[in-house]
Structure 1
Amino acid sequence: MPRTVRTMIGVSRGPASGDLFEQSPSRLLEQHGALLTRRMYKWSAGFEHELRNYSGVITGIARSQVDNDVTSAVKVYSVPFGADRARRADLDRVPRHPITDLSDLSPLGELVDGAYSRSMDHTALTAAVAGLERRFGPYRLKRVSLGLDTNDFGEEKLYLDAEIVADDGAHAGAVFRSFRRDSRGDLVVCNESMRLKEGYRKQGFARSLSASLEEYYRRCGVARIEVKTEDDGGLVWAKEGYQWNSRRDLLAASLANIRTRLDAVVDSGTISSADKSLLEDYRGRLQVNSETIPTPAELAALTGDARDLGERIMKDSVWHGVRYL
């Protein structure tokens, strides 16, 4: 197994036992599944998806054998931690809808480059994404618009906005996204916001839209998706497995806000002494220089005597997140 992956997972070659990754996958998972799950969880809220990905680098193992062994092992190890349990339980309450095929959309890189070079104006850009005006789960996108604009910091980005419409034609909300290339030329998406009116939430639209767009982004070579949370997004994006944006100033701002949210829960007078002690321990880890900063998903799933400790902290929190594709 490549050294970088071995180091990332946190296991090493032992002189007595030989190389851990020379074992059969079934034996490997039987003996070390819990360890692998803990390590893998840092990079994904879902153990099964990541283990299938990383299993491909274990040399000499047929893919079919890996799939069979992983499927068996996942029954034992797939939901060992609170964050994953919370995420799966939350998703199970939301109706499931198929991913919408966006393969007919123009490549995102061409649109970004066309906008910045001024070879595509607002009319041409909007026409290129007209295919987004379709159903995503229970609702549809309408009045999609794409064009260059400048934000409050003087940054010029390609912005997309669209209305969310229910089957009866009622206005259900709005979606805003922005696209750019970073200093290395990588494509970056920012989930600016998605707002759904009361009565239209938790019906599967957000999940369907996000999954459909992520498939499109991957095909277009997008490097990462960034988000600055607001309102319910502080909890939602945490449960979706977004990590802290590691840029130092953004990480500092994120952790400062979470500390403030945590302090408010501690000072509320509604939690036990044991829960206060637990939160004080977590507060000490919410520092930029800490080697054990809890992930957003870990915080969202935090429970004590009060089962909703983490949700109270993360709901309405403001933090900068990222998902690498």
Structure 2
Amino acid sequence: MTGMLAAAWRALRDCILGEVCCGGPAAADITRGYADASKGAAQSFSRAEVEAHDHMEGLERNLPSASYPAASSVRDIREADEIGGAEVGRTAAEPSAAPSKNVPDLSHVAPLGDLVDADRLDHQTVNLALKGLERQYGPYRLDNVSTDYEISWTAAGRRRQELLMSASIRDGEQSAGIISHCFSRDDEGKLVVENRVICLWPEFRGKGFSTEFSKAIEEYYRRSGVDRIELYADLQDGGYTWARAGFGWDLDPGKLRGSVNSIRAQISHLVTSTPGLSSADKAQLDDILARFQGHVAGYPSPNELVSLSGDEPNLGEKIMRGSKWHGMKKL
């Protein structure tokens, strides 16, 4: 069941990624998504988006309903399960709430490295560990956490075990969005998190969930010894929101080249499609392009770009919305 679930999540991602921009924590609270067709949203959505949303609703209804407290180690998880210590039974859905003043405490969740490194852990054990992430983050609850393992190969030819985690975001009984992350180690043995999908449906954005979730999960990652978080910011709002969230360039040569080319294209489009762009603003943009010609250390950061302002006050926003770039955040 778990393998099928992971495959379904991947199918969902492949289906909607071309349409849905999955951004990150910021004022927009996660980029562009799609609305529930039954609510008659004004925005026009593709058939693939609506079918993906319908599929997701059905998938969530068929997810296992058990909810477990996590333990401090893989051994503790197994022992809790063997002696019947895991509390079985779904926690009642919580009502919407205003963002809390305190960061949710995830100190009870087993260290991520233990789970990534474990040799052929059974799915029940892994699910039991990460069920501890199921809780309220600001207005919404993370629910239906599910995991799976995959084997891949690094660029250096090293066998890599990846731990996949998917979850739904709930506002009471309503689906508010989805999350999909991948955890693994790189060729140097450093623990890496890849944010594959983080999407909130349009009517659930801007309420503070992503800010609360990011604070809590990044603290958990630090405690687990995670070296960095990687992502691909793309489409309508992803490039803008991840830049505001403080993500920098992924310095892998191929990824960096693609990122820089995207920003150059954005700037060129801005210059040619903005009648009346002032000479001062054009000079700023020329300076940005010149810096991309120099040493990598002198490249403007995504956050610097998104913060650009001149006679056109939203100069940086216009560059970064619609941009596609590979991002990374060191922890």
Q: If the length of structure 1 is used for normalisation, what is the TM-score?
A: 0.66
Identical amino acids, percent of aligned pairs: 40
Residues 2-28 of structure 1, C-alpha deviations (whole Å, 9 max, x = no match): xxxxxxxxxxxxxxxxxxxxxxxxxxx
Q: CA deviation at 1:149?
A: 3.1
Q: Secondary structure at the match of 2:207?
A: coil
Q: How far, CA to CA, are the matches of 1:284 and 1:152 in structure 2?
A: 37
Question: What is the letter of the counterpart of residue 104 of structure 2?
Answer: T
Q: CA deviation at 1:89?
A: 8.8
Equivalent position of 1:127 in the other structure: 128
Q: How far, CA to CA, are the matches of 2:294 and 2:201 in structure 1?
A: 35
Q: Secondary structure at the match of 1:223?
A: strand
Aligned pair 1:272/2:284, yes or no?
no
Q: CA deviation at 1:142?
A: 1.2
Equivalent position of 2:180 in the other structure: 176
Q: How far, CA to CA, are the matches of 1:284 and 1:255 in structure 2?
A: 12
Cα gap change, 1:111 to 1:282, in 2 (>3 Å): same
Aligned pair 1:262/2:263, yes or no?
no
Within 5 A, what are the aligned runs for 1:196-215?
196-215=200-219
Within 5 A, what are the aligned runs for 1:28-39?
none
Equivalent position of 1:307 in the other structure: 313
CA contact (8 A) 1:255 1:287 kept: no
Equivalent position of 1:316 in the other structure: 322
Select between 224-233 and 179-188 the one with higher mean Cα deviation: 224-233
Q: How far, CA to CA, are the matches of 1:324 and 1:160 in structure 2?
A: 21
Q: CA deviation at 1:156?
A: 5.1
Q: Secondary structure at the match of 2:268?
A: helix
Q: How far, CA to CA, are the matches of 2:267 and 2:319 in structure 1?
A: 6
Q: Secondary structure at the match of 1:260?
A: helix
Equivalent position of 2:251 in the other structure: 246
Q: Using CA pairs below 8 Å that are at least 6 residues apart, which structure has the higher relative contact order?
A: 2
Residues 257-301 of structure 1, C-alpha deviations (whole Å, 9 max, x = no match): 111111111111342333223212211222474552101110000
Q: How far, CA to CA, are the matches of 1:198 and 1:88 in structure 2?
A: 14
Larger Rg: 1
Q: CA deviation at 1:199?
A: 1.5
Q: How far, CA to CA, are the matches of 2:202 and 2:153 in structure 1?
A: 29
The alignment covers a number of residue pairs equal to 232
Question: Can you give the 5+ residue segments of structure 2 that lack an aligned partner in the other structure?
Answer: 1-24, 30-97
Question: Can you give the 5+ residue segments of structure 1 that lack an aligned partner in the other structure?
Answer: 1-86
Q: Supply the RMSD in Å over aligned alpha carbons.
A: 2.5
Q: Secondary structure at the match of 2:213?
A: helix
Equivalent position of 1:187 in the other structure: 191
Equivalent position of 1:235 in the other structure: 240
Residues 174-222 of structure 1, C-alpha deviations (whole Å, 9 max, x = no match): 1111100111111111111211111211111111111100110111111
Equivalent position of 2:9 in the other structure: none
CA contact (8 A) 1:133 1:143 kept: yes
Q: How far, CA to CA, are the matches of 1:255 and 1:142 in structure 2?
A: 37
Q: Secondary structure at the match of 1:199?
A: helix
Q: If the length of structure 2 is used for normalisation, what is the TM-score?
A: 0.65
Q: How far, CA to CA, are the matches of 1:90 and 1:205 in structure 2?
A: 11
Cα gap change, 1:150 to 1:261, in 2 (>3 Å): farther
